[in-house]
A and B are shown apart, each in its own frame.
Chain A
């Protein structure tokens, strides 16, 4: 009789999270471990190639993609604290010759952090305490790319995987925004190539959170948060910013 080993999960940490937000990565790792997962961080991982592909250079990311597939092929699951990078890997990474099977398998086993918890390990509720007023910034790639929450444009029953994970935390107040899922204006190279628009969109999102007396703005993609936090800091606003994984980790300890 053989005992089925515990699935081995690889952590994929987006490059800018690795460099600028180590605490988000540490929290992602910690939460998954607290939930009983066996997690490793493959040391030779790099980037998924999204910044290049979204700028119109998908064809130049074959090498990056090949390295990505080879790095993660041996694991049962790949989990990343970023909806944006996961959508890229699934939908926009170029086909790599000779690795067709591995690439197809990767697309089925890579998950964004919240959907991995709600859909794969099927955690119904997370208990803990986080007595704060939370505004959730829904990243477009997570929302409309991975369908992590309902779209305001679609005629569908409202749902949010992030809300499901947060709503049982003691003392947490989930704030409903006026424009529930408008883009923050980050958009990768858009943040720089359309600087004026990008910043205006960010300011408008922040105004929505301020108008609802949000204390901590959270979300599943640090790229949106980096952009929003950058604007808020420049304007000396006292809004706080945390990745969803950081909130869960603090609440669960």
Chain B
């Protein structure tokens, strides 16, 4: 199903879709209050955006600097051109460590690479340890939001799920009770895992360290208990210097959830004695995006999810309606670069209202890129019926005579045709909306009579 169909499905449950809208708006509102309390907020955005410009302009150099420094620190650096290579590298490390069960802290990159099904096929148990992520994993669903993976579920649904999976009391919806149950369940998994996988929020070229930001502390718990830490990082996550974290960390949590800062910002620099850290630097379409001038700065994204929370479409259609690992406005400009045909309806799932652009902490011109992708998509799809009718429209507007004639005909038709013909099933506008009342003359006719 395309985005419009998915969205219409989501809206069929008005109470739930309203709740979804209100919940995400609440987070957007919190983000507003928090960002408005920082007087230099706009300056921080500008700085972050400029730093990322510099990174994208010198990406190869920064990556090599990062590799040199990380290697010096005792981290093993791997390069993956695509998802398949990434997954194979993870598997080869697990095989070497004879590891059959791993814990993972939320990493959108591993979702993008479809690591879980790949490892499961290779008989490795994967446990996602973020609470939201574990919930959707129990359900066999992907996350519906990059920061709030289970935001599409209400606590009643989670209570039912936990009753089935974790044997909690039937009907007990107390969030504290349910969280405790998840804690106990995850504790066993943490203790058993020899290898822990995390994502990466920032890789610092200058020092070869990387930073992982979480609220639940689960990344740290997994990593410290395991002998081997595998960190999966998209190549665009590089920042030049450690001091730049002072900008990005201030922007990230405020934009994401309206917190001052994420609860855990853990820096990983070199492995403890007897342990190993591996980092996999993943391209998977990123250099291709870097080569697209109109779209390259989408790679500035720090995955805060603010554009989803603010998007009037996302809030009312849910993350699954995008059918893309990264949903929402940012997903709609990243995904067409990965598969234009599959994601062709996403750049049209927007009114180009521009709220995403204004909320973005790294100033990605998201709505402009949505507009640009529309041009690319119609070009790639070749002439279509829609294109023909639009060409016709252009033909009309180009010639004043044709325009006057067709406008008059339209008004005449609307005035004289029976309602049943105007509001027929083919008239999508009229399904739930009236058309404007037809005036007796156009402005042009009025002007001609009264002014010339």
Given A55-B374, A56-B377, A67-B398: A230 and B348 interface contact (C-beta under 8 Å): no
Query: What is the bound-complex CA distance between A92 and B35, given in angstroms?
Result: 31
Q: Which of A1-9, A44-52, A160-168 contacts B (4 or more CB under 8 A)?
A: A44-52
- Write out the residue numbers on chain A whose beta carbons fall within 8 Å of the beta carbon of B393: 51-52
A54 with B352: CB separation less than 8 A:
yes
Other-chain contact of B353, A44, A53, A59, A140 (Cβ < 8 Å): A140
Question: Would A25 and B443 count as touching, CB distance under 8 A?
Answer: yes
- Which chain B residues (416-449) contact chain A, with CB distance < 8 Å? 428-429, 431-436, 438-439, 441-448
A182 at the interface (CB under 8 A from B): yes
CA distance A49 to B395 in the complex (A): 11
A-B pairs with CB below 8 Å: how many? 203
Q: Which of B35, B353, B403 has the most CB of A within 10 A?
A: B353
B397-A145 in contact (CB<8A): no
Q: Is A101 an interface residue (CB 8 A)?
A: no
Query: Is the pair A154, B443 in contact by a Cβ cutoff of 8 Å?
Result: no
Q: Mark A150-185, 1 if CB is under 8 A from B, else 0.
A: 011111100000000000000000000001011101
Please pick, from B11, B358, B403, B452, the residue contacting A47 in the complex, using a CB distance under 8 A. B403
Binds A, one of B198-206, B233-241, B290-298, B309-317: B309-317
In whole Å, how far is B249's beta carbon from the nearest beta carbon of chain A? 18
- Number of interface residues, chain B, beta carbon within 8 A: 72
Q: Are B433 and A19 neighbours in the complex by a CB distance under 8 Å?
A: no
Find chain A residues with CB under 8 A from B349 CB. 194, 197
Asked whether B4 lies within 8 Å of A197 as measured between CB atoms, the reply is yes
Category for how many chain A residues contact B: 35 or more
The answer on a CB contact under 8 Å between A18 and B444 is: yes
Contact call B447/A60, Cβ cutoff below 8 A = no
- The answer to whether the Cβ of B191 comes within 8 Å of any Cβ in the partner chain is no
In the bound complex, residues from chain A placing their C-beta under 8 Å from that of B180 are: none
On chain A, the residues within 8 Å of B73 by CB distance are none
Would you give the shortest CB distance from A38 to chain B, in whole angstroms? 13
Q: Is the CB of A234 within 8 A of B36?
A: no
Q: What chain A residues lie within 8 Å of B41 (beta carbons)?
A: 155
Closest to B403 in A: A46
- With the chains together, A229 CA to B435 CA distance in Å? 9
Please judge, given known A-B contacts A22-B442, A46-B400, whether A151 and B432 are in contact too, CB under 8 Å. Answer: no
Hey, which chain A residues are within 8 Å of B396, CB to CB? 46
Q: Is the CB of B448 within 8 A of A43?
A: yes
Pick out which of these stretches binds chain A: B92-100, B161-169, B266-274, B383-391: B383-391
Contact A155 B371 (CB under 8 A): no
State in angstroms the CA–CA spacing of A21 and B224 once bound together: 68
Residue pairs across A and B with Cβ atoms less than 8 A apart, 15 shown, are A13-B443, A18-B444, A43-B448, A46-B399, A54-B371, A56-B375, A56-B377, A57-B394, A155-B35, A183-B312, A187-B351, A192-B429, A197-B4, A197-B317, A229-B436
- What residues of chain B have their CB less than 8 Å away from a CB belonging to chain A? 3-4, 7-8, 11, 17, 21, 25, 32, 35-36, 38-39, 41-42, 310, 312-313, 316-317, 348-355, 357-359, 371, 374-375, 377-379, 386-387, 390-391, 393-394, 396-400, 403, 407, 410-411, 428-429, 431-436, 438-439, 441-448, 451-452
Which 7 pairs across A and B sit closest by C-beta, in order of nearness? A187-B351, A230-B433, A56-B378, A144-B354, A56-B374, A140-B353, A47-B397
